[in-house]
Amino acid sequence: MRIAMIGTGYVGLVSGVCFSDFGHDVICVDKSERKIKMLQDGEVPIYEPGLDVLMAKNVAAGRLTFTTDLTAAVDGADAVFIAVGTPTRRGDGHADLTYVMAAADEIARAITAYTVVVTKSTVPVGTNRKVHSVVSAANPQAEFDVASNPEFLREGAAIDDFMRPDRVVVGVESERATEVMAGIYRPLYLRDFPILTTDLESAEMIKYAANAFLATKITFINEIAGLCERAGGDVKEVARGIGLDGRIGNKFLHAGPGYGGSCFPKDTAALARIGQDHAHPMQITETVIRVNDEVKKRMIEKIRDACDDSFNGKTVAVLGVTFKPNTDDMRDAPSLTIVPALIGGGARVRVVDPQGRAEGEALLPGVEWLDDPYTAAADADAVVLLTEWNEFRALNLNELAETMKSARMVDLRNIYPSAMVLGSGFEAYVGVGVGDQQQSRSA
C-alpha cells in the first residue's frame, strides 16, 4: 500500500512511522520546511519514547520519506491521511477546521486515480461529509471516497498504543474504501485486534465520546478526592474499591491535579459546542470542564496551606511541569495554572522537568530551571510533586528533607505513602484525597 500522511504533528508522525513499520510505503508531508528538513536529517521534532529508533529503521528500509510537496505525495497514493491540527477556535470553543479543509482542497487537486481520503484529525460529526464536498468541488473528476479513522494514542505510549490498540475505528462510505482500509490495517487485523467498521458519523462521534468519557472518569474521581478530604476516606482505597467492579474498571481513576494535554481539554470543549449547536447541551461534559478548572485551583490552595497560608517570600520546588510524564508537551498542563499562582503570590519557584524546559521556558516566565530535585529543594519551604515522572518516584527522601529549609511535601500525584515521607525527615506531607483521620493513621 502507498500512503500519504498530511501533517507531521504528533498524530501524523507517529501514524506515518507506524504504518511504514507495517511494511507500507509512507510519505509524510508538511508545509513547514524546517520540520521536513529536520525529519530528513533523521531528527524527531517531538519527544516520544522509541519514535526515533522506529523512524530510523523505516527510513533505512526505504519505506518512509518526508516532503513538502503534497501533490507528488498524493499522486499514486492508495490512501491520503489528513492529520493536521484542529485547535480550539478562539472565542467559541469550536474545533477549527481551517487546516483540514485546506488540506482536503489541496489533496483533491492532486488526485489522479482512486484514492481514499482519510481523516485522522479529531473532527466534529459531519466533517467527513464536508470533506467529501470540498474534494468533489475542487476536482469533480476525482475518483475517491472519504473515511474517518480517529486516533486514540496516548502521548508517551503512542507507539505501543498504535501497534497494540484496544480497537481501530474506521468510518466508511463504500465497500471499496473498506477494502483499502482493511489492507492498511491488515497487520493488526491478522493479530486479532478489533477493527470496528462503522458509518462516518458514528466514527466521528466515537472519538469525542471516548475522550469525554475518560475526562469524566478522571474528573469524577477528582471530585470524590475533594470530598474525601472533607468527609474522610482515602481516594486511593475508594478507587481500588470501585475499580474492582468490572463494569467500572480500574483505569483512569488516579486522582490528581486535573487533566490536561492536547486532547481532553480540546475535545471536551468541542463536544460541548457541538451539543449547543444541536440544541442538546452536553450537560455532563460542560460540568466536567468546569470542575476540572476548579480541581486545578484547589491544588493551589493545598500548596498555600503547606506554605503557612502565604506564598510571599517562600521558595517552592516544583517537580514536573509537563501535563504528564514521558512527553515534552505543556498543552493545558495543570502547571500553567498552578505555577503562575505561586509566582503571583510572591513565591520564588524552581522547576525541574526531564523534558519540559524547551516549551516551558516561554510559558512559565519567572521560574528558575534546575536539573535535579535536590538542588531545586535546597533551602526551599516546600516541594511540590506535580508530574509523576519515574525520576521523581525514587527520590532519596532523607537527602531531600535535609537540604530543605522546611521539609514539606505536596504530592499532587499521590506517588509516596505519607508514612514513608514523614518517616524520612519531612515535617509535613499533603497528598490528594485523604481525610484527616486517614492522614494521621497512615502517618
Positions annotated as catalytic residues are 263
For position 70 contacting ligand UDX by CB under 6 A, the verdict is no
Pairing type for strands 382-385 and 408-411 reads parallel
Q: How far is the CB of 28 from ligand UDX (least distance, A)?
A: 19
For position 10 contacting ligand UDX by CB under 6 A, the verdict is no
Give the binding range for ligand UDX (CB under 6 A) out of 188-196, 246-254, 391-399, 421-429.
246-254
For position 254 contacting ligand UDX by CB under 6 A, the verdict is yes
Q: How far is the CB of 443 from ligand UDX (least distance, A)?
A: 25
Are 171 and 198 in contact by the 8 Å Cβ rule? The answer is: yes
Pairing type for strands 144-148 and 168-172 reads antiparallel
Does 268 show up as a binding residue in the annotation? no
Does 256 show up as a binding residue in the annotation? yes
For position 256 contacting ligand UDX by CB under 6 A, the verdict is yes
For position 81 contacting ligand UDX by CB under 6 A, the verdict is no
Query: How many degrees, rounded to 5, is the angle at CA 93 between CA 87 and CA 99?
Result: 30
Give the binding range for ligand UDX (CB under 6 A) out of 34-42, 191-199, 259-267, 431-439.
259-267
Rama region for 333: left / alpha / beta (φ>0; ψ in -120 to 50; rest): beta
Does 207 show up as a binding residue in the annotation? yes
Give the binding range for ligand UDX (CB under 6 A) out of 191-199, 252-260, 342-350, 374-382.
252-260
Give the binding range for ligand UDX (CB under 6 A) out of 192-200, 242-250, 251-259, 357-365.
251-259
Does 258 show up as a binding residue in the annotation? no
Instruction: Give me the residues paired with residue 25 across strands.
Output: 2
Does 94 show up as a binding residue in the annotation? no
Does 122 show up as a binding residue in the annotation? yes
Binding mask 152-171 for ligand UDX (x = CB under 6 A): xxxx----------------
Pick 138 or 227: Cβ nearer ligand UDX: 227
Does 2 show up as a binding residue in the annotation? no
Using the rule CB under 6 A, which residue among 17, 101, 110, 263 binds ligand UDX? 263
Using the rule CB under 6 A, which residue among 117, 125, 253, 397 binds ligand UDX? 253
Does 30 show up as a binding residue in the annotation? yes
C-alpha cell recorded at residue 427: 515535617
Using the rule CB under 6 A, which residue among 81, 264, 426, 429 binds ligand UDX? 264
Kindly identify the residues of this chain, within the stretch 327-366, that bind ligand UDX according to CB under 6 A.
none
Using the rule CB under 6 A, which residue among 16, 171, 260, 320 binds ligand UDX? 260
Are 335 and 362 in contact by the 8 Å Cβ rule? The answer is: no
Using the rule CB under 6 A, which residue among 189, 193, 252, 369 binds ligand UDX? 252
**From CA 210, how far away is CA 156, in angstroms rounded?**
19
Pick 164 or 441: Cβ nearer ligand UDX: 164
For position 208 contacting ligand UDX by CB under 6 A, the verdict is no
Q: How far is the CB of 260 from ligand UDX (least distance, A)?
A: 4
Q: How far is the CB of 42 from ligand UDX (least distance, A)?
A: 25
3-state SS string over the chain? Answer: CEEEEECCCHHHHHHHHHHHHCCCEEEEECCCHHHHHHHHCCCCCCCCCCHHHHHHHHHHCCCEEEECCHHHHHCCCCEEEECCCCCECCCCCCECCHHHHHHHHHHHHHCCCCEEEEECCCCCCCHHHHHHHHHHHHCCCCCEEEEECCCCCCCCCHHHHHHCCCCEEEEECCHHHHHHHHHHCHHHHCCCCCEEEECHHHHHHHHHHHHHHHHHHHHHHHHHHHHHHHHCCEHHHHHHHHHCCCCCCCCCCCCCCCCCCCCHHHHHHHHHHHHHHCCCCCHHHHHHHHHHHHHHHHHHHHHHHHCCCCCCCCEEEEECCCCCCCCCCCCCCCHHHHHHHHHHCCCEEEEECCCCHHHHHHHCCCCEECCCHHHHHCCCCEEEECCCCHHHCCCCHHHHHHHCCCCEEEECCCCCCHHHHHCCCCCEEECCCECHHHHHHHC
For position 107 contacting ligand UDX by CB under 6 A, the verdict is no
Rg of the Cα atoms in the chain = 24
Kindly identify the residues of this chain, within the stretch 284-323, that bind ligand UDX according to CB under 6 A.
323
Does 254 show up as a binding residue in the annotation? yes
Q: How far is the CB of 331 from ligand UDX (least distance, A)?
A: 9
For position 259 contacting ligand UDX by CB under 6 A, the verdict is yes
Q: Annotated binding site for substrate, which residues? A: 152-155, 207, 252-256, 260, 324
Residues that constitute the known binding site: 30, 35, 86, 122, 152-155, 207, 252-256, 260, 266, 324, 331
Residues binding ligand UDX (CB under 6 A): 151-155, 211, 214, 218, 252-254, 256, 259-264, 323-324
